[in-house]
Structure 1
Amino acid sequence: MSNPVVNIWGTSAEAAPAATQAAPAPWDTKWDLGNRAAGGTAWVFSSSPGEKTLRRPVILADGFAPGATKVDDLYDGLENGEYPFVSTLREAGFDVVLLGFSDRTASILDNAEVAIQCIMRAIADREGEHPLTVGGFSMGGLVTRYALAKLERQRMRHETATYLSYDTPHRGAWLPLGVQAFAHYVKDNWGGPLKPVLNSFSHLVNSPAARQMLRWHLETAAGTTLDVADGQHQDRTDFLEALERMGDWPRIPRLLGVANGTGTGGGNDIPAGDSAMEAYGPHLIGRLDAQGTGSQTVARMDKPGQEPTEIRTTGFPELDGAPGGLFPVAPAFNDAANFGIAAMLAGLVNRTEAELTHNASTFVPTVSALGVADIDDHDALYSKIDPDTSDLHDYHCATANEGHTTMTRELGEWIVNKLKEA
C-alpha cells in the first residue's frame, strides 16, 4: 500500500528514526503567499517544464498535519506511489499547483485566505482563458471549498470550473474518543526527556483545525460520559456557521470528489466494542475499545496512586469499523495509526510493549467524504451510497477501504479522466 499524501502525525526524532528523505520535487516556480494571520507557498509544476506561464491550472491544497507543508513529501505521496498523479496531469496538458501552508493546524478560515491568494495569482499568471480546477486533500478540500464560496459571496470572479475534494471530511472526521483522551492523559501525567513526544499528540488534537474538523472532540482526559448529541467543539460550530454564511458550497463549479472508503456499505471489519489496545505496566494500565452503539466504556486509564479515569459514550454509531478512509499510518512510528499511536505512547511510559489488536480505524467515513449524510447516523454509515443524496455532482469510491488520502490508480485515473472531459 502506498503512503498517504497527508501524514497526520508527522515525524519525531525522539520517538523513532527519521523517515526516508523524499527526493527533491521538480517544481518550476514557487509563489510566496499569505499575510500576518496565515502564510503559505505554492509550487508550480508546469505542463511545459521550465515555463512559468500557466495554461490549464489545477490547484491542489495540502491537508492537516503538524507544522508547515514540505513540498518534497507532498509530491512524493502524489507521484511515487501506486499512480504517478502529478506527471500524468502534466502530460495531459495541466499545470499542477501544489498549495502548502505555513501552519497546517491553523484555522481553516485563515488558510482559506492563503488559498484565495493562490487562486488570484493563478488567474494573473495564466495565459489564455482556460478555467481553473481548485481543490485539495482532506482538510485542503475544506480550505478551498470555503475559499471559492467566499469569493462567490463577495462577487469576485474565481474563474474555476471544477472543484475537487480528495477524501475530505465534509461532514466531519472521526478520531476515537478514547484515543483523544489517552493522548491528553499521557500529556498530563508524565514528563521527563520524552515530554515533547508525549505532549505532541495532545497538542495536535487540540489545534484549531482539528477542533474544526472533528465531529466529536475531547479537550482533556477528564472522565466523562458523552452522548452522541454532545461533544462538538465550539470552533466546529463556528466554522460550520461561517461556511453557511458563504453559501455552504461554491455554486459555479461542478463539484467532484473521491473517497478512500467503499460506497457499498462494507466496513473494515473492526468489531464494535472489541478491545483495540491494552497496556499493562508499572506506570500505566489502560484499555481502549472500538466504538459501539448503546452505552459503553471506550477508554480506561489507571495510574498508581490516582483514581482511574473512564470515558463512556451513549448512542454513538459503530464508527471505528465504518466504510471510509482509514487513519493514516506514520512510517516513522513503525506504521502506527490512531490506536497504534496510543499503544506507542503507553509503551514509552511503561518501557514495555502494549497489546495492539486494531491499529487503524476509520478517519473519514465515506458518507462524510461525499457529503451524503452526517456521521452520527449509523444506518447511513453502513448503507450503499445513493448518488442522489450526495452534495457533489459526481464522485468515485474506492473498491476497498484504504488509507486516508492514499493516491491510488483507481482514484487518480478517475480524476484525470474527469478533468480531461472539461
Structure 2
Amino acid sequence: MGTTMAEEARIDVKTLFQKAAGDLSAPELYELARIAESGPWFGMPVARSTEQVRRPNFEWPLVSEHPYLGKYGKGTAAVYLGNGHERLVRPMIFADGFNYGPSNLDDLWQWFNAPYSEAGEQLFDQLLAAGIDIVLLGFDTRHDYVQVNAGVVRACLAKVIAERQGNAKLITGGVSMGGLITRYALAAMEADGDNHDTETYLSWDSPHNGAWVPLILQQMAHFFEIFEAANPLKASKAALLRSPAAQQLLYAWVEDSRYSGPVATASPLRTQFVEELTALGGFPSQPVKLGVANGRGDGRGLGHTPGEIVFEKKFLGGLAGSATARFQPAFGTQRPIGGMHLGLTVRTSTTSAVAPFDGAPGGTLDSFGQVAGTLGIELEEAKRWGCFVPTISAVGLTFDPLTWPVELDKDLRGLKPEDTALNEFCCDTANSEHSAVTPTLAEWVLRKIAK
C-alpha cells in the first residue's frame, strides 16, 4: 500500500447546483437544522469512567517564556505524588493530546487510570505505587500550534526541575499530539543548550509521521457547517480541522468542501512544522526514546474494503439532501469517495493516488461513527472506526513524512535499528482505539519505566 514520489495524491470535487434554497419547505428546513448540531468533530476520545477522580497534590499554572509567532502558550500541570512522597522525586511529565479547546486533566487521568485488565489493574495507580510522580500537563488551547504549546512544556520542565528533590532524571512525553509537542520541546531545548534533564522520552500512539482523517468526512464537516446556527459559545464541526494543530498533524487535509488539488501535506503549516522539526534534529538526541502504538505491528489492518460505501443517507427521501461516504479507495485515478447534497448544492468527490488509510493497521478513531451519529445514521460497529494514527507513524518509521513513500501494511517485526527514530517500541496485539490503555501496552510501559 505504498505511494511513489512521482504520484500526486489529490482530490477532485464536482459541484452542481439544483433546487434553490428558497424552494425548501418548513419541514425540510427543520430537518437541516436538526442534523446541523455543533461539533467539533474528530477529537480524541474522552473518559467513560464514572469513578471518582483522584485529586492532584498540586496544580501549577504555566506560561511559556518562548513565544511562537508572537504567541505565548499557557497551560496547567496537575501533580500526583508517588506513594510515600512528599515532594517530586521521580517525575514523569505526560502531556495531553489532540482536541479542541482547553485540556481536561480529570478526563485525562480517568482515561489512563481506567482498569485495563480483568484483574482491575490501573496504569497510573501502578506507576504511583512504583514511586513515579505523575505530572499531567494540559494546555489552555490544545488546537494551537505545536510550537506554541511546546513553550508550555518547556515551562513545565523548568518548574519540575526546580521543585524536584534529588537528582533523578525525568521521564517526559505524552499521548497523541502530546508526544509531538514534548518531542519538539525537548529537541528545541537541546538546540538552545537548555537543560531538560530527561532520561526517557515516551510517546503514546503519537503521529510522528502524520495522522489521517478521511477526506470525505473532512469535506462533510465543512459542508454541513453551512446550516449550523451561529453560536459563539460552541465550536462548529470543522473548527478542529481548521486549527493550526490539525493542519500540522494531518498527512492529508482539505481547506473546505469545494477544494480540488493536492492533499498530501496540503497545508503549508504542516510543511513548515516538519521542516522546523527536521532542523532541530527530528527527535531529541539525549533521552532514550520509547513509543507505543495502538495499532498492530504485523501489517494486519482493520479489514475494510477500499472504496466500499460506509453510509448512504437521504433526508426526507432525498428532497432535503443526501450524504454518501466510502472507505478511502486504494490509489487509482479519480476513484469516488462520496458526496453530499443539501439544499442548493450537490458535490461529488474523487481521489487519485491516495492510499487506503481507513483500513490500515493503527490506532483507530470513530470518525465515521461521529459523522453518522450527527446525521442520524445507524452504523454497524465495525464501520464506525477507521485508522487515525497508522502504526508506521506511531513507531517513527524512517521515511519522508511529507510524501509517505512507504507501505501502510508493512510488517514491523524485526526492524533494523536504523529503520525507526525510536530506540524501542511496542505495538498492540489488535488495532485498538487511539490512545487506549491495553494490557499489552501498559505492561510494556511498566517494564520499561517502573523499574
Q: Please say whether Structure 1 and Structure 2 have the same fold, judged by a TM-score greater than 0.5.
A: yes
Q: 1:262 to 1:276 in 2, by over 3 A?
A: same
CA separation in 1, counterparts of 2:379 and 2:407?
32
Unaligned runs of 5+ in 2: 1-41, 65-70
Find the partner of 2:207 among 169, 181, 184: 169
- Stretch deviating more after TM superposition (83-92 or 140-149): 83-92
**Equivalent-residue separation in structure 1 for 2:82 and 2:73 (angstroms):** 29
**Structure 2 counterpart of 1:212:** 248
The equivalent residue for 2:18 is none
For residue 149 of structure 1, what is the amino acid of its counterpart? A
Partners of 1:285 and 1:223 lie apart in 2 by: 20
Partner of 1:334: none
Please name the residue that 2:79 is paired with: 44
Structure 1 residue 311: Cα displacement: 2.2
Please list every run of 5 or more consecutive structure 1 residues that lacks an aligned counterpart in the other structure: 1-6, 12-17, 328-336, 348-352
Q: Specify the alignment match of 1:178 in structure 2.
A: 216
Q: Is the 8 A contact 1:141 1:164 kept in 2?
A: yes
Q: After TM superposition, list the pairs within 5 Å mapping 1:136-151 onto structure 2.
A: 136-151=174-189
Instruction: Give 2:145's aligned amino acid.
Output: S
Match of 1:277, SS state, is strand
Contact kept in structure 2, 1:317 and 1:377, CA below 8 Å: no
Does the CA-based 8 Å contact 1:69-1:100 persist in structure 2? Answer: yes
- Aligned residue for 1:339, secondary structure, equals helix
Residues 43 and 240 in structure 2, CA contact (< 8 A), matched pair in contact too: no
Counterpart CA distance in 1 for 2:209 and 2:231 is 35
Match of 1:149, SS state, is: helix
RMSD of aligned alpha carbons: 2.3
Q: Which residue of 1 aligns with 2:348?
A: 310
Give the match for residue 4 of structure 1: none
Task: Kindly provide the CA deviation profile for residues 154-206 of structure 1, in whole angstroms up to 9, marking residues without a partner as x.
Answer: 01111111000000000000000001000000012x13489987x62211111
Q: Are 1:400 and 2:434 matched, yes or no?
A: no
State the match for 2:132 in structure 1.
94
Question: Equivalent of 1:368, from 381, 384, 393?
Answer: 393
Alignment of 1:384-399 (within 5 A): 384-385=411-412, 386-388=414-416, 389-399=419-429
Question: In structure 2, which of residues 337, 357, 369 is the aligned counterpart of residue 298 of structure 1?
Answer: 337
Q: Give the aligned partner of residue 333 of structure 1.
A: none
Which among 327, 339, 349 is matched to residue 368 of structure 2?
339
Cα 1:416/1:354, change in 2 over 3 Å: closer
CA spacing shift, 1:31–1:202, aligned 2, 3 Å: same
Q: TM-score normalized by structure 1?
A: 0.87
2:449 counterpart of 1:419? yes
1:67 match: secondary structure: coil
**Percent of aligned pairs sharing the same letter:** 34
Partner SS state of residue 248, structure 1:
coil
Counterpart CA distance in 2 for 1:69 and 1:252 is 28
What whole-Å deviation, never above 9, does each CA across 1:274-326 have from its counterpart, x for those lacking one? Answer: 111211113221111111221312121112443x2122110111110000000
- Identify the structure with bigger relative contact order (alpha carbons < 8 Å, sequence gap 6+): 2
Do the aligned residues in 1 keep the contact of 2:93 with 2:137 (CA within 8 Å)? yes
8 Å CA contact 1:46, 1:96 repeated in 2:
yes
Structure 1 match to 2:312: 278
- What SS does the corresponding residue of 1:288 show, helix, strand or coil? strand
* Contact 2:294-2:435 within 8 A present in 1 as well: yes
- TM-score, normalised relative to structure 2: 0.81
Q: Which amino acid aligns with 1:380?
A: E
How much does 1:374 deviate? 5.3
Q: CA deviation at 1:253?
A: 0.4
Question: CA-to-partner distance for each residue in 1:340-382, whole Å, 9 max, x for gaps?
Answer: 12212323xxxxx466671110000000001114576586211
Q: SS of the counterpart of 2:369? A: helix
Matched with 2:34 is none
**Count of equivalent residues:** 389
1:359 to 384, 409, 412: 384
CA contact (8 A) 2:98 2:143 kept: yes
* CA distance, structure 2, for counterparts of residue 310 and residue 124 of structure 1: 57
- Structure with higher Rg: it is 2
Match of 1:126 in 2: 164
Decide whether the 8 Å contact of 1:60 with 1:137 is kept in 2: yes
Change over 3 Å in CA distance of 1:159–1:411 after alignment to 2: same
Q: Secondary structure at the match of 1:114?
A: helix
Contact (CA 8 Å) 1:258, 1:395: kept in 2 or not? Answer: yes
Which of 363-372 and 406-415 deviates more?
A: 406-415
Partner of 1:63: 97
Once the two structures are TM-superposed, the CA of residue 387 in structure 1 deviates from its matched residue by: 2.4
Does structure 1 retain, via aligned residues, the 8 Å contact 2:169–2:199?
Answer: yes
Matches of 2:229 and 2:378 in 1, distance apart?
Answer: 20
SS of the residue 1:164 aligns to? strand
Distance 1:355 1:128, change over 3 A: closer
